[in-house]
């Protein structure tokens, strides 16, 4: 293609002229957060050339807010697709896109002003995927402490193995097509499955830690449990991360055996107690960096409890997902 942003996207690179970038996002009943997303997109230092929002059938104030935005911003297109899941919505929005580069973010997150500029800058010669990053946007003590568990800092990321969330990523439309798009049969975990398909295609990826999206965590234990249950159910249904989940099951089985044996051999309980801080080392380091001094001691006690709580959600979700996968495999093929 030429560097005017039109035509085929083979050999995409920044060049001397500006490439056309389409920002896509999916929404569903995001009345409480859609205003922040709109404001964040409007504040980008490198505005998207095109914005395509797929609404999966919102029944709150989301469609009205999007309509007002589209009326004042000619770059905005809103696709109403009732019943579409995240994958179907993203695929429809990307298929609608006119340009060679696609940037993706999610409702519920707020991109920093330089987010899109940092993503676009990562497209050097031969790069098909630029992986942005995200950081927690905690509002309560619970959210601050919980953010230390599974949300690493950019300094902890290995770009060679990083699998980005689709709340902060950009790729060529060609790469999306070659990977088969987002999996519409998967209701959650679709971005990780898409990542694996991209890697299988041998695409060249670049990490852009400055492409930041601020992400609000779940506010309570119930919604947090459901979130991680669904993540793990997606893993089980798609056959992703089997070793990681097997290690989790094995760890808890081994720990339960040590506890039973430790009733008569206290030294085994001491061994188990000594292993826990080692497992929590990364979370404790984040707590020291992120939390105010008065919350660090509380986190020392709560983080292992929260870790076991989340592990329970993941194990239950993974078993449910594996059951769905086995049922699908046993279903007669047409």
Give the span between the Cα atoms of 165 and 190, in whole angstroms. Answer: 9
- Give the pLDDT score at 12: 55
Of 22-26, 248-252, 253-257, 272-276, least confident by mean pLDDT is 272-276
Higher model confidence: residue 275 or residue 14?
275
- Give the pLDDT score at 11: 46
- Give the pLDDT score at 199: 96
Give the span between the Cα atoms of 56 and 203, in whole angstroms. Answer: 30
- Give the pLDDT score at 185: 96
Count the Cβ atoms, other than its own, within 10 Å of residue 140: 11
**Can you say whether residue 189 is alpha, beta or left, with left for phi > 0 and alpha for psi between -120 and 50 degrees?**
left
Enumerate domains of the chain plus CATH numbers: 21-215 (3.90.550.10), 221-330 (no CATH)
Tally of residues, the chain: 334
Query: Is residue 191 helix, strand or coil?
Result: helix
Of 48-62, 208-222, 225-239, 258-272, least confident by mean pLDDT is 258-272
Kind plus residue range of the DSSP H or E element containing 61: none
Query: Is residue 212 helix, strand or coil?
Result: strand
- Between the two ends of the chain, the Cα-to-Cα distance in Å is 41
Give the span between the Cα atoms of 176 and 215, in whole angstroms. Answer: 24
Task: Give the C-alpha distances (Å, rounded to integers) separating 259 from 56, 270, 271.
Answer: 48, 10, 10
User: Up-side HSE of residue 185: CA atoms within 13 Å toward CB?
Assistant: 9
Whose tokens are 């676009």? That residue is 120
Give the span between the Cα atoms of 1 and 10, in whole angstroms. Answer: 6
* 8-state DSSP, 30: -
- Give the pLDDT score at 25: 97
Tokens standing for residue 4: 């005017």
- Tens digits of per-residue pLDDT, 8-18? 444 455 443 57
- Tens digits of per-residue pLDDT, 283-329? 999 999 999 999 999 999 999 999 999 999 999 999 999 999 999 88
């Amino acid at each position: 293609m030429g560097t005017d942003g039109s035509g085929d996207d083979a050999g995409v690179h920044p060049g001397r002229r500006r490439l056309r970038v389409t920002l896509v996002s999916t929404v569903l009943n995001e009345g409480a957060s859609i205003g922040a997303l709109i404001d964040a997109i409007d504040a980008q230092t490198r505005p998207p050339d095109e914005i395509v929002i797929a609404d999966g059938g919102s029944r709150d104030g989301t469609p009205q807010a999007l309509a007002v935005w589209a009326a004042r911003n000619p770059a905005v297109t809103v696709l109403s697709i009732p019943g579409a899941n995240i994958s179907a919505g993203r695929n429809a929005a990307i298929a609608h896109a006119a340009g060679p580069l696609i940037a993706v973010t999610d409702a519920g997150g707020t991109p920093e002003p330089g987010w899109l500029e940092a993503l676009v800058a990562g497209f050097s010669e031969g790069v098909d995927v630029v992986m942005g990053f995200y950081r927690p946007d905690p509002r309560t003590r619970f959210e601050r402490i919980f953010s230390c568990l599974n949300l690493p800092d950019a300094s902890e990321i290995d770009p060679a193995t990083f699998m980005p969330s689709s709340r902060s990523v950009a790729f060529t439309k060609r790469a999306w097509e070659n990977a088969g798009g987002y999996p519409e049969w998967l209701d959650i975990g679709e971005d990780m499955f898409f990542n694996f398909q991209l890697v299988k295609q041998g695409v060249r990826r670049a990490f852009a830690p400055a492409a930041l999206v601020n992400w609000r965590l779940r506010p309570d234990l119930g919604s947090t449990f459901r979130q991680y249950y669904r993540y793990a159910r997606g893993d089980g249904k798609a056959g992703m991360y089997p070793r990681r989940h097997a290690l989790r099951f094995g760890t808890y089985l081994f720990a339960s055996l040590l506890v039973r044996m430790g009733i008569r051999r206290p030294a085994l309980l001491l061994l188990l107690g000594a292993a826990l801080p080692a497992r929590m080392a990364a979370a404790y380091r984040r707590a020291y960096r992120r939390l105010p001094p008065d919350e660090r001691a509380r986190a020392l006690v709560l983080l292992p409890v929260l870790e076991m709580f989340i592990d329970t959600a993941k194990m239950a979700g993974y078993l449910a997902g594996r059951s769905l996968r086995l049922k699908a495999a046993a279903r007669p093929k047409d």
